C-alpha cells in the first residue's frame, strides 16, 4: 500500500489507475512471472514514473532549487493573505477601519499603531496577491481614515468606533505629530518604496508637509516639530528619501535643520545624552542621521564634511559601549559613562547596522563593515532566541535585520539563520500554546495586535528574496514560483496544480526609479532588490521547457511576459542580458 501511495505522487491519474489494476488484480499474479518479464514490468513502471517526473523536475539543479524557493514563497504569501482576511473580519462594520488590537483597544483606530504597523502591510499584501482587495477595501480604508481622522490639518488623531468621534476631546499636538511620523516612516514610506507613486504616497507627503507646518519648538537652527529622538530620527529618514523622490529643496532644508540640531549643536546622541536606545523607539536617530549624512554627500558636500566627525564619533562610541561579545546591540546604554542600562539584545540590531553599512558604502570605512560581519558570524548564537518575550514581532524585526544586510553581504551562515528562523516565526501563526493566542488558532491572526503587520512585512521580504523579486499576476494559490541567480542569469521555475495563464513580472531598481536615490544603501523596512532588469536594455528569455528563446526589453519584463502553465508541468525560464 505504501508503495502504491508513493507511486501516485509521481503519476497522473490514468497512468496510476492502469498500474494499480495491473498490480492488484488477482488475475495478474506478477510474483510468478518469469524473471525477464518481471524486469520488463519494472522497467515499464519506472519509465512511466520518470516520464511523469519530467513534468515537475528538470535536470538542471538550479531549477529544482528555484522550485524549492517557490514552495517557501508560496507558503509565505498564503500566510500573509490569511492574516489580511482574518484581520478584516474584525474591522469596524460602519467605517471599515481596523482596530488597534483585538483586546483592550478594539474600539479605536490610531495612527501610530493601526495605521503605521498593520494597515500598510495589508495594502502591500493585496498589491502583490489580490488586486480586487487592493482596489476595493484597501483604498476604501485610506479614503475613510483621511475623511474621519484628520484633525490637525492633514494629521490624524485616534478615532473611536463607538463614539463616531475622536477618542480625546482635546488636541495633543505632540501626540498627533508622533502618530503621524510613525504612520509615515513605518508604513507609508516602505509601501511607497515598493509600489511607487499612489494615493498612499500622496498621503505620506501631505502629512510630512503638515508635520512641519506645525513645528513649534525653537532651536538655534530654526523651528522643529518635536524634541523626541524617535520622531526626529523617523523624520530624518523620511525627509532624506522624500527629498530625492520629489527634488523639492524644502525637504532637504528641514532635514538639515534636524541634522544641525543633533550634530552641530548641544544634542549629540552620544556626547550630550546619558541614554541612547539601540532598539526600536530610539535607534531611529542613528539611522536617520546617517541617512542625512549620505544624502549630504551628494546634495551638499560641505555639509557632509561638517557632519563627518560627529557621525564617526557617534558610531564609534556605540560600538565601544553598546555591543555585546557577539557584536549585537544592547537595548539601552549610557553613552557617556558606558553603563549598560538594559542588557537585553535589540531585535532591531540590523536597523542600526544599516547606518554603519551605509557609511561604509559611502566612505569605505572598513571597521563599520567588520562590525556587521562579526555580528553575522555570531548569529548562530541567537537561533530560537526569545527576542520579545515569546512574540513573533521580535523574530520579524530580527529576520528583517538579517535579510536586508544579507542582500549586501552574502554570508552563507546568515542565509541558514534566516531560513531557519523564518520557519520559527511562521510556526507562531499556527501555534496556540503562547499566552493570549488561543482565540486566533487556525484563522491567520498572529497575536491580535498591531505588531501582526510586522509578520506580514518580514514575510513578504522573505518571499521576494525567494523569488528574487519576481511576482505573478494574477496570483493563484495553485501556482508555485521561485528563482535563483546563476552568474548574470536568472533561472525561474513555475509549477501549477491547475492550468494557469498569467504574467510573470521582474523587479527593477526601485531605489532609482521611485526614490531617485543616488546610492542603494540599506534602509529600515526596505524591500531589498535582488535581481533587477533595466527598462532600456534588452534580454533573452529562454523558455527551456519549450526549447524556444525570445528577446524582450527590460520594460516588457517589468510589465510582465505571458506564461501558460499546464497542470503539473514545469515551466522553466532563463533570463540573461543581451547585448544589441
What percent of the chain lies above the pLDDT cut of 90?
Answer: 87
Mean per-residue pLDDT over the chain, rounded: 92
The phi-psi region of residue 500 (left if phi > 0; otherwise alpha if psi is between -120 and 50; otherwise beta) is beta
pTM for the complete prediction?
0.90
Residue reference for cell 516565526: 425
pLDDT band at residue 580 under the 50/70/90 scheme: confident
For the chain, which residues make up each domain, given as ranges? 2-55, 92-214, 474-578
What is the dihedral angle through the alpha carbons of 120, 124, 127, 129, rounded to the nearest 10 degrees? -130
What DSSP string runs through 444-504?
Answer: S-SSSBTTHHHHHHHHHHHHHHHTTT-EEES--TTEEEEEEEETTEEEEEEEESS-EEEEE
* Dihedral pair phi/psi, residue 562, rounded to 5°: -70, 135
Rounded Cα distance between 264 and 110, Å, is 35
First to last CA, the chain: 58
Name residues whose C-beta falls within 8 Å of residue 535's C-beta, 6 or more positions apart in sequence.
508, 513, 553, 554, 555, 558
Rounded Cα distance between 271 and 321, Å, is 13
Angle CA 154–155–160, to nearest 5:
115
pLDDT band at residue 11 under the 50/70/90 scheme: very low
pLDDT band at residue 439 under the 50/70/90 scheme: confident
Query: Which CATH number does the domain 474-578 belong to among 2.60.40.1180, 2.60.120.20, 2.70.150.10, 3.40.50.170?
Result: 2.60.40.1180
Q: Which of 554, 481, 564, 566 is nearest to 575 (CA)?
A: 554
Beta strand 165-166 with 159-160 is antiparallel
* pLDDT at position 24 over 60: no
Tell me if the bond preceding 474 is cis, omega within 30° of 0: yes
* Crossing angle between the packed helical segments 199-213 and 229-246, to the nearest 10 degrees: 120
In this prediction, residue 12 carries a pLDDT of: 42
In this prediction, residue 18 carries a pLDDT of: 39
Q: Which of 75, 25, 139 is nearest to 477 (CA)?
A: 75
Average pLDDT over residues 245-251: 98
Rounded Cα distance between 94 and 141, Å, is 11
What is the dihedral angle through the alpha carbons of 468, 469, 475, 481, rounded to the nearest 10 degrees? -10
Amino acid at each position: 500500500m505504501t508503495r502504491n501511495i508513493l507511486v501516485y505522487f509521481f503519476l497522473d491519474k490514468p497512468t496510476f489507475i492502469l498500474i494499480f489494476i495491473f498490480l492488484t488484480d488477482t488475475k495478474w499474479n506478477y510474483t510468478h512471472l518469469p524473471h525477464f518479464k518481471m524486469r520488463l514490468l519494472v522497467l515499464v513502471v519506472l519509465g512511466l514514473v520518470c516520464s511523469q517526473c519530467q513534468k515537475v523536475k528538470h535536470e538542471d539543479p538550479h531549477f529544482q532549487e528555484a522550485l524549492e524557493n517557490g514552495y517557501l514563497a508560496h507558503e509565505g504569501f498564503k500566510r500573509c493573505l490569511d492574516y489580511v482576511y482574518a484581520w478584516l473580519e474584525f474591522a469596524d462594520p460602519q467605517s471599515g477601519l481596523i482596530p488597534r488590537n483585538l483586546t483592550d483597544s478594539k474600539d479605536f483606530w490610531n495612527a501610530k499603531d493601526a495605521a503605521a504597523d498593520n494597515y500598510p502591510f495589508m495594502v502591500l499584501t493585496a498589491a502583490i496577491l489580490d488586486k480586487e482587495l487592493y482596489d476595493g477595501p484597501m483604498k476604501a480604508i485610506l479614503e475613510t481614515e483621511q475623511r474621519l481622522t484628520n484633525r490637525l490639518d492633514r494629521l490624524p488623531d485616534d478615532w473611536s468606533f463607538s463614539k463616531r468621534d475622536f477618542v480625546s476631546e482635546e488636541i495633543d499636538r505632540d501626540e498627533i505629530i508622533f502618530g503621524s511620523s510613525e504612520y509615515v516612516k513605518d508604513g507609508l514610506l516602505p509601501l511607497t518604496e515598493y509600489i511607487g507613486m499612489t494615493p498612499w504616497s500622496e498621503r505620506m507627503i501631505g502629512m510630512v508637509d503638515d508635520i512641519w507646518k506645525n513645528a513649534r519648538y525653537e532651536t538655534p537652527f530654526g523651528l522643529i516639530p518635536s524634541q523626541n529622538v524617535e520622531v526626529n530620527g523617523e523624520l530624518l529618514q523620511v525627509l532624506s528619501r522624500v527629498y530625492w523622490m520629489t527634488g523639492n529643496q524644502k525637504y532637504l532644508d528641514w532635514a538639515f535643520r534636524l541634522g544641525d540640531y543633533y550634530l552641530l549643536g548641544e544634542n549629540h546622541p552620544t556626547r550630550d545624552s546619558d541614554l541612547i536606545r539601540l532598539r526600536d523607539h530610539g535607534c531611529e536617530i542613528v539611522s536617520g542621521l546617517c541617512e542625512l549624512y549620505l544624502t549630504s554627500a551628494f546634495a551638499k558636500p560641505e555639509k557632509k564634511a561638517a557632519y563627518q566627525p560627529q557621525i564617526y564619533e557617534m558610531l564609534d562610541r556605540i560600538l565601544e559601549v553598546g555591543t555585546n561579545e557577539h557584536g549585537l546591540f544592547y537595548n539601552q546604554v549610557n553613552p557617556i559613562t558606558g553603563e549598560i542600562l538594559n542588557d537585553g539584545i535589540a531585535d532591531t540590531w540590523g536597523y542600526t547596522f544599516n547606518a554603519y553599512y551605509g557609511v561604509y558604502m559611502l566612505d569605505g570605512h572598513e571597521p563599520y563593515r567588520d562590525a556587521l560581519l562579526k555580528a553575522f558570524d555570531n548569529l548562530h548564537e541567537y537561533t530560537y532566541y526569545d527576542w520579545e518575550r515569546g512574540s513573533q514581532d521580535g523574530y520579524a524585526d530580527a529576520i528583517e535585520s538579517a535579510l536586508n544586510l544579507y542582500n549586501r553581504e552574502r554570508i552563507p551562515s546568515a542565509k541558514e539563520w534566516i531560513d531557519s528562523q523564518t520557519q520559527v516565526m511562521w510556526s507562531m501563526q499556527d501555534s496556540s500554546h503562547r499566552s493570549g493566542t488561543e482565540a486566533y488558532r487556525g484563522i491567520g491572526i498572529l497575536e491580535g495586535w498591531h505588531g501582526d503587520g510586522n509578520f506580514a512585512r518580514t514575510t513578504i521580504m522573505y518571499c521576494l528574496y525567494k523569488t528574487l523579486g519576481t511576482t505573478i499576476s494574477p496570483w493563484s494559490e495553485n501556482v508555485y514560483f521561485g528563482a535563483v541567480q546563476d552568474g548574470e542569469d536568472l533561472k525561474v521555475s513555475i509549477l501549477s496544480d491547475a492550468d494557469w495563464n498569467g504574467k510573470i513580472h521582474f523587479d527593477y531598481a526601485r531605489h532609482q526609479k521611485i526614490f531617485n536615490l543616488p546610492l542603494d544603501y540599506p534602509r529600515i523596512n526596505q524591500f531589498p532588490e535582488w535581481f533587477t532588469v533595466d527598462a532600456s536594455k534588452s534580454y533573452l528569455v529562454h523558455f527551456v521547457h519549450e526549447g524556444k528563446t525570445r528577446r524582450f526589453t527590460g520594460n516588457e519584463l517589468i510589465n510582465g511576459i505571458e506564461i501558460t502553465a499546464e497542470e503539473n508541468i514545469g515551466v522553466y525560464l532563463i533570463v540573461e542580458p543581451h547585448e544589441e
